[in-house]
Structure 1
Amino acid sequence: MSQIEKPMISYSCYFTRNREGEQFVPEHTFSYQISGTLTITDATATSVFNEGDFRLIKRNSLVKYIKQPPATGGEFKSVSIYLTQEALRNFCIANGYTSTHQLGTPSIITLQSNNLYKSFMDSLSPYRDAGTEVLPQLQKLKVNEAILILLQTKPELADILFDFNEPGKIDLESFMEKNFHFNVQMKRFAYLTGRSLATFKRDFEKKFNTTPGKWLLNRRLKEAYFQIKEKGRPVSEVYLDVGFEDLSHFSFAFKNKFGKPPSKIA
Structure 2
Amino acid sequence: MENRQDQQITYSCYYAKSREGEQFAPEHVFNYQISGTLTVNDGERDYVTNAGDFRFIKRNSLLKFNKVPPENGEFKSISIFLTQEMLRDFSMEHHIVSDGDADHTAVHQLPAHPLYQSFIQSLAPYEFLTRQGNEELFRLKLKEVVMLLLKVNPELKNVLFDFAEPGKIDLEEFMNKNYHFNVEMKRFAHLTGRSLATFKRDFEKIFHLSPSRWLQQKRLQEAYFLIKEKGRAPSDVYLDLGFEDLSHFSFAFKKKYGVAPSFVKA
Q: Give TM-score, length-normalised by structure 2.
A: 0.92
Output the CA distance in 1 between the equivalents of 2:170 and 2:6.
33
SS of 1:97's partner is: coil
Deviation at 1:101, TM superposition (A): 5.8
The 5-angstrom pairing of residues 1-266 of structure 1 reads 7-15=7-15, 17-23=16-22, 24-71=24-71, 73-100=72-99, 102-103=101-102, 105-127=104-126, 131-134=127-130, 135-266=134-265
SS of 1:228's partner is: helix
* AA aligned opposite 1:43: G
SS of 1:184's partner is: coil
* Displacement over 6 Å in runs of 4+: none
Output the CA distance in 1 between the equivalents of 2:192 and 2:20.
23
Output the CA distance in 2 between the equivalents of 1:149 and 1:31.
13
Deviation at 1:43, TM superposition (A): 2.2
* AA aligned opposite 1:121: I
SS of 2:65's partner is: strand
8 Å Cα contact 1:44-1:178 kept in structure 2: no
Cα separation, partners in 2 of 1:204 and 1:103, compared to 1, 3 Å: farther
> What are the superposed Cα offsets for residues 149-197 of structure 1, whole Å, 9 maximum, x if unpaired?
1001111101100000011111111211221111111111111111001
> What are the superposed Cα offsets for residues 125-161 of structure 1, whole Å, 9 maximum, x if unpaired?
232xxx5452332221011111011001111101100
Overall identity of the aligned pairs, in %:
57
SS of 1:19's partner is: coil
Output the CA distance in 2 between the equivalents of 1:262 and 1:104.
41
* AA aligned opposite 2:28: H
* AA aligned opposite 2:79: S
Cα separation, partners in 2 of 1:219 and 1:40, compared to 1, 3 Å: same
Return 250-259 or 181-190, whichever deviates more: 250-259
Output the CA distance in 1 between the equivalents of 2:67 and 2:128.
24
Cα separation, partners in 2 of 1:255 and 1:22, compared to 1, 3 Å: same
8 Å Cα contact 2:97-2:158 kept in structure 1: no
Output the CA distance in 2 between the equivalents of 1:252 and 1:10.
36
Output the CA distance in 2 between the equivalents of 1:102 and 1:8.
27
> What are the superposed Cα offsets for residues 21-60 of structure 1, whole Å, 9 maximum, x if unpaired?
2422111000000111111112222111100000000111
8 Å Cα contact 1:28-1:56 kept in structure 2: yes
* AA aligned opposite 1:108: V
* AA aligned opposite 1:136: E
Return 111-120 or 248-257, whichever deviates more: 248-257
> What are the superposed Cα offsets for residues 89-117 of structure 1, whole Å, 9 maximum, x if unpaired?
11111111123563552111111211111
* AA aligned opposite 2:10: S
8 Å Cα contact 1:40-1:66 kept in structure 2: yes
Output the CA distance in 2 between the equivalents of 1:133 and 1:258.
55
8 Å Cα contact 1:42-1:61 kept in structure 2: yes
8 Å Cα contact 1:101-1:160 kept in structure 2: no
Uncovered stretches (5+) of structure 2, i.e. residues with no partner: none
Cα separation, partners in 2 of 1:179 and 1:79, compared to 1, 3 Å: same
